Structure 1
């Protein structure tokens, strides 16, 4: 009996040590990303000439970018700044992703462009403030169109990537989608969809040379979060994007930055 207990305790201890080791390795990847899996300077440019729904940081990495948003004046101002700062070409497309009628215009404007990187980062809340599901605004198609349908509409770009057998698709989820989140029910559920959809899609197309990664941040200071004060956990959008692009080769899902990865490890340990 004593021998059995000793073997059982040894086995349990070994499993605990193994789990701790796995978490440490996962954590070390974020501390030393350049050592663990350095992203070459030419990585993004090797995917293609253009980044669909791109940004300043992708332009800095040598890509021409397509900026898509519903505010044309803001788009034009930002596009001018990116062109002057990086020397890359910028194409702007006005589109309101709460409406399903925008995709034909987007498709027409993307014709002939070598889209190698695609970023799906649009999103909206069901209600500006936390509230019970039935106490929020009337449910319409706007949130579903913006948070879910917009992500699935990568098919045309993916078809091009399949032909070239290369490409990078980054889908932005949220930490609130990793668990049922009362008072943000619709938002949480829509982000959970993005996570599941992205991982399943990667399983289907990984062998075709396409990287599909879901990025799952926790606190980021944006208009949607009413510009929460940045700190160790809450990152500015610029900080988060810059750091998260270092992790595009880290697997099907990343949390985008060291601080958010630490949160996940803490939650898993609780």
Structure 2
């Protein structure tokens, strides 16, 4: 009996060491993406002639469109504001000398995808970035505090959930036929845990994450990369253009970093600092994070930041 007990605990200990050793190795790989997940200069352009980016008029989507054009791809940019899209298209075209196609669409609406499919059907699409998304309110609030809750539910589900699924339905068949392609679906770091005060938004983004991981398992053997990217703070309109710092990244810096992890698996945080934030968030017990004290503190913090931004002087260029 003694020998069996010794054997059992020795085997168990070895298994634990191997398990955590493997996790440590995987973690260290994320520290050096260029070494572990190298990309050739023609990696993205080899996937197809065109890239499609939703929500591309500003922020993260705009930077993905620029980055992919700089990689030698023509780009289709999609958003609801034609004037802004035309400006972005001109900037991309003049900077990169690539073709840019503009599709004006409001993804919060119901029936918009037949026209999109018609406009894309003859394009050789190698990359899809599902970036478009909406947050009901920058300031945290409880689910029932929304003044027009029914419309908010509809708009969030249409924009954050339905659009991603329908765009995959439109573009994935062509990638499957060619046995190559990249789909990047932008989720959110706050969906890492149940996140009160942003419940609807966080829930919509965990759908993005799980759907992406499921598709990756289904299509990875067909040469298609499908990845959920889950950023925390990126200085965009969604977070009130907060000042950049070690964790609040500029869109260009985040996109540059995230593209380095494109071969790193079905989910990444897109940057090293956001990976540490994700780890930290998972180490704090939910009983602490979900206390009324923490929730009220979060609300007051965001309100204070918004007030500081509103009171800051605006300098206009001549």
- Give the TM-score, by structure 2 length: 0.79
Once residues 229 and 22 of structure 1 are traced to their aligned partners in structure 2, the CA distance between those partners, rounded to angstroms, is 37
Instruction: State the partner residue of 1:58.
Output: 68
- Give the stretch that moved more between structures: 181-190 or 7-16: 7-16
- For residues 150-201 of structure 1, the C-alpha deviation after alignment (integer angstroms, 9 at most, x for no partner) is 0001212111111111111100100111211000000010001111111111
Gapped regions of structure 1 (runs ≥ 5): none
| Contact kept? 2:192, 2:278, Cα under 8 Å | no
Q: Secondary structure at the match of 1:169?
A: strand
1:127 to 2:137 alignment: yes
How much has 1:22 moved relative to structure 2? 3.4
Once residues 21 and 86 of structure 1 are traced to their aligned partners in structure 2, the CA distance between those partners, rounded to angstroms, is 44
1:163 to 2:173 alignment: no
1:151 to 2:164 alignment: yes
How much has 1:133 moved relative to structure 2? 0.6
Q: Secondary structure at the match of 1:189?
A: helix
- For residues 202-229 of structure 1, the C-alpha deviation after alignment (integer angstroms, 9 at most, x for no partner) is 1122222211111111111110011122
Instruction: State the partner residue of 1:254.
Output: 268
| Contact kept? 2:108, 2:156, Cα under 8 Å | yes
How much has 1:230 moved relative to structure 2? 1.2
How much has 1:139 moved relative to structure 2? 2.6
Once residues 67 and 91 of structure 1 are traced to their aligned partners in structure 2, the CA distance between those partners, rounded to angstroms, is 6
Instruction: State the partner residue of 2:126.
Output: 116
Once residues 128 and 226 of structure 2 are traced to their aligned partners in structure 1, the CA distance between those partners, rounded to angstroms, is 9
Once residues 283 and 195 of structure 2 are traced to their aligned partners in structure 1, the CA distance between those partners, rounded to angstroms, is 19
Instruction: State the partner residue of 1:190.
Output: 204
Aligned ranges for residues 1-270 of structure 1 at < 5 Å? 14=14, 17-53=17-53, 55-137=65-147, 138-140=149-151, 141-153=154-166, 154-270=168-284
| Contact kept? 2:138, 2:240, Cα under 8 Å | no
Once residues 30 and 243 of structure 2 are traced to their aligned partners in structure 1, the CA distance between those partners, rounded to angstroms, is 23
How much has 1:5 moved relative to structure 2? 8.0
Gapped regions of structure 2 (runs ≥ 5): 54-63, 285-318
Q: Secondary structure at the match of 1:139?
A: helix
Q: Secondary structure at the match of 2:264?
A: coil
Once residues 6 and 264 of structure 1 are traced to their aligned partners in structure 2, the CA distance between those partners, rounded to angstroms, is 38
Task: Answer with 1 or 2: which has the greater Rg.
Answer: 2
How much has 1:39 moved relative to structure 2? 1.2
- Give the stretch that moved more between structures: 245-254 or 22-31: 22-31
**How many matched pairs?**
270
How much has 1:266 moved relative to structure 2? 3.3
Once residues 7 and 236 of structure 2 are traced to their aligned partners in structure 1, the CA distance between those partners, rounded to angstroms, is 53
| Contact kept? 1:27, 1:262, Cα under 8 Å | no
| Contact kept? 1:216, 1:253, Cα under 8 Å | yes
Once residues 221 and 250 of structure 2 are traced to their aligned partners in structure 1, the CA distance between those partners, rounded to angstroms, is 35
